[in-house]
Amino acid sequence: MKVYTFPQGGLHFTDPTAPPVGASVVAFLPVLSVIPLVQHPGAKAVPLVSGGSPVREGMLIGRAQGSLSAHIHATVPGQVVRTVSWEMGEGITNEGLVIRLKGSFDQLGKAEERFPWETLTAEELKQRLIDYGIVEMEGPGHPLADRFASWSALPEPRTLVVRCVFDDPWLVADQVLCRERTQAVAEGSVILGRACGASQVVYAVSAKERKLGTMLLSEAQAYTLPSSLVLVSSRYPQRNDRELELALRSYEKQGKGEHPVQALGSLLIQGPATLAAVRDALVLHRPILDRYVAVGGSAVKKPQIMRVRIGTRIGDLFAECGGFIGEVQRIILGSPFSGRRVLEKNLDGPVIKTTYALSALSAKQTGGTVVRSCIGCGACRTVCPVGLDPEALYKALVVFKHRYKKEKPEPGPGGSSQCHGCGCCDLVCPSRFALVNAALRGA
């Protein structure tokens, strides 16, 4: 079976400090949970409870307000202790409700009772997903409600793409979720496909996980919505929307002959964690209560993949992994290779709906802060998937700042606005230049 990919740049890499692919472990239930009212890009949810209020597992405790906002639910039963706020970095402040664990669970440990979602219309499916606060469980966490609005404007046909692409070793939590909850991911894709008017589902799966792709396809074929499997490269950043679409358009163009390919049309790309949450909302009437998280890094004694209740403090998870080895240089929420959300060693920050990885890095892994002179090796140009010259963009920004004492130059030739921040150039630069940051700031 042919493997499809994007035409230029990218790289293959591994990280021995990431948790290995294996069975997940269930994290301890937190005595104190911190449930943030912002787990999405929009305004914070309006709290519906306050200090002293009793809450049930799955109870609505924060109501969405406006675009890009989503409902928030209690992930454990108990009592609200107080409201807290904290600095998330980049001038963003979050607010959350602290819940002390108490009482019985409505979902945990109970037999699953399936709801016949097949009887619902597309509009009813959408409303249920909005009611349960389902968001994309990656990136900034866009609510599906807003995705529905943008998807409805796209021309038909529409194809729902299930992105099971593992080009970063820190995506291992999603990889294990797919293996352990294959049926849930497949059913969730069919549900979402029906809700958004997709004519088919395509499972875009890393070639190294061909067996997983076959299993997903087998589960999906139990439903009437047409489905197919496309194997794609594990070359980073294959999972980016742009690079994934390039691979799929190649598949669409070349997939002729003995097995003709149905026209893909507009692509609606979603990850496996989101689709499992879609399934749980419609089949079990359950909001997002937990998620798979990869916990590791060179400063962690025992990296592992954990099923974690939303609101669990990250310090508790590191403790369950045996604690730290030596001094922690940096704590990152997400993959160390994207480095988007640094927590400044704040161990009280909670796991939220979009948390797929936690890494604690030692000085050895971060490589220190020494920036050396450029040696002109050209490695950054070789790996850039959009054909930019990161070295030139970096030097242009540095010269502009030195000469004009300003942060951002006028856009120049080469179009740094094309940079989508994959970080390939940063990964290969031997001089440790912040190349991707320069490209994005100069855009």
The helix/strand/coil state of 150 is helix
What is the C-alpha separation between 268 and 249, in angstroms, rounded?
Answer: 13
Classify burial at 332, counting beta carbons within 10 Å of its beta carbon; exposed 0-12, middle 13-18, buried 19 or more.
buried
Please answer whether residues 282 and 125 qualify as being in contact, where contact means their C-beta atoms are separated by less than 8 angstroms. yes
Q: What is the pLDDT of residue 258?
A: 43
What is the C-alpha separation between 171 and 72, in angstroms, rounded?
Answer: 25
**Domains of the chain: residue spans and CATH:** 3-17+111-284 (3.40.50.11540), 31-107 (2.40.50), 379-441 (no CATH)
Answer yes or no: pTM beyond 0.85: yes
What is the C-alpha separation between 279 and 189, in angstroms, rounded?
Answer: 8
Q: What is the pLDDT of residue 432?
A: 78
Q: Phi and psi of 386, rounded to 5°?
A: -110, 10
If you average pLDDT over residues 123-137, what whole number do you get? 97
If you average pLDDT over residues 379-407, what whole number do you get? 76
Q: What is the pLDDT of residue 400?
A: 57
Q: What is the pLDDT of residue 421?
A: 82
pLDDT digits (tens, 9 = 90+) for 175-196: 999 999 999 999 999 999 999 9
Dig out the tokens for 329 from the structure.
Answer: 């240089």
First to last CA, the chain: 39
List CB contacts of 260: < 8 A, sequence separation 6 or more: none
Residue 83: half-sphere exposure toward Cβ, Cα within 13 Å: 12
The helix/strand/coil state of 105 is coil
Q: Fill in the DSSP letter of residue 165.
A: -
Tally of helices (H runs) and strands (E runs) in the chain? 13, 17
Q: Which range among 240-254, 316-330, 341-355, 389-403 shows the weakest confidence by mean pLDDT?
A: 389-403
**Is the pLDDT at 412 greater than 50, yes or no?**
no
- Tell me which of 362 and 136 has the higher pLDDT: 136
> Beta-carbon neighbour count of residue 378 at 10 Å?
11
Percent of the chain predicted with pLDDT > 70: 88
pLDDT digits (tens, 9 = 90+) for 323-348: 999 888 888 888 887 655 555 567 88
Average pLDDT, the chain: 89
